[in-house]
Homo-oligomer: A and B are copies of this chain.
Amino acid sequence: MARRATAQDVADLAGVSRSSVSLVLNGRAEGNISAAKQVAIIEAARQLSYRPNALALSLRLQRTHTIGVLTWPGGRGSPGGLLHAAWVSAAAAGYLLLLMDVGKDREHEVRAVTTLLDRQVDGFIVVAPELIEYRPLEAMAGTPTVLVNCVDPERTVTSIAPDEFEAAANATRILIELGHRRIGLLTDDAGTVEVRDRVAGVHAELATAGLPAPTMLPARRDIQSGASQTRQALLSSEPPTGLVCTHERLALGAVLAAAELGIGIPTDLSLVSLEDGEHLAAELVPPLTTVQRPDRGMADEAVRMLVRELDGVTGPDVRQLSFVCPPRQRASTGPVPVSAPAGRP
Is A55 within 8 A of B256, CB to CB?
no
- Kindly state whether residue A2 has any CB partner on chain B within 8 Å: yes
Tell me the minimal C-beta distance from A225 to chain B in angstroms: 9
A96 touches B120 (CB 8 A): no
Query: Cβ of B118 and Cβ of A54 under 8 Å apart?
Result: yes
- A253: chain B residues at CB < 8 Å are 285
Q: Which of these, B118, B222, B255, B262, contacts A52 with CB under 8 Å?
A: B118
**A142 within 8 A of partner (CB):** yes
Identity of the chain B residue whose Cβ is nearest the Cβ of A224 in the assembled complex: B285
Q: Are B114 and A87 in contact (CB-based, < 8 A)?
A: no
Q: Is A283 an interface residue (CB 8 A)?
A: yes
Q: Find chain B residues with CB under 8 A from A283 CB.
A: 222-224, 249
Identify the A interface with B (CB < 8 A). 1-2, 4, 51-56, 58-59, 64, 73, 76, 78, 80, 84, 87-88, 91, 96-101, 114-115, 117-120, 141-143, 222-224, 227, 249, 252-253, 255-257, 259-260, 262, 279-280, 283-285, 287
- State how many angstroms separate the Cβ of A252 from the closest Cβ of chain B: 8
Judge whether A143 and B51 touch: CB under 8 Å. no
**CB-based nearest B residue for A68:** B96
Extra pairs beyond A55-B58, A56-B59, A262-B262 (10, CB < 8 Å): A2-B142, A4-B117, A54-B119, A55-B119, A59-B59, A88-B101, A99-B99, A224-B284, A256-B284, A256-B285
Bound-state Cα–Cα, A97 to B98, Å: 7
Contact of A51 with B99 in the complex, beta carbons under 8 Å? no
Complex Cα gap A84–B100 (Å): 10
- Asked whether A99 lies within 8 Å of B80 as measured between CB atoms, the reply is no
User: Which residues of B are found within 8 Å of A252, using beta-carbon distances?
Assistant: 252
- A55, A84, A279 interface centre (most CB from chain B within 10 Å): A55
Complex contacts, A259 vs chain B, CB 8 Å: 256, 259-260
Per the bound structure, the CA–CA distance linking A2 and B56 in Å amounts to: 23
User: What residues of chain B lie closer than 8 Å to A96, measured between beta carbons?
Assistant: 98, 100, 115, 119
Query: Across chains A and B, which 9 residue pairs bring their CB atoms closest together, nearest first?
Result: A1-B142, A259-B259, A223-B283, A54-B118, A54-B119, A87-B101, A259-B260, A227-B285, A222-B283
A-B contact pairs, 28 of them (CB 8 A): A1-B141, A1-B142, A1-B143, A2-B142, A51-B114, A51-B117, A51-B118, A53-B59, A53-B118, A55-B59, A59-B59, A73-B84, A76-B279, A87-B101, A97-B98, A97-B99, A99-B99, A222-B283, A224-B283, A224-B284, A227-B285, A252-B252, A253-B285, A256-B259, A256-B284, A256-B285, A259-B260, A262-B262
- Alpha-carbon gap, A115 to B57, bound state (A): 13
A91 to B100, CA, bound (A): 9
Residues of chain B within 8 A (CB-CB) of A80 are 73, 78, 80
Do the beta carbons of B223 and A284 come within 8 Å of each other? yes
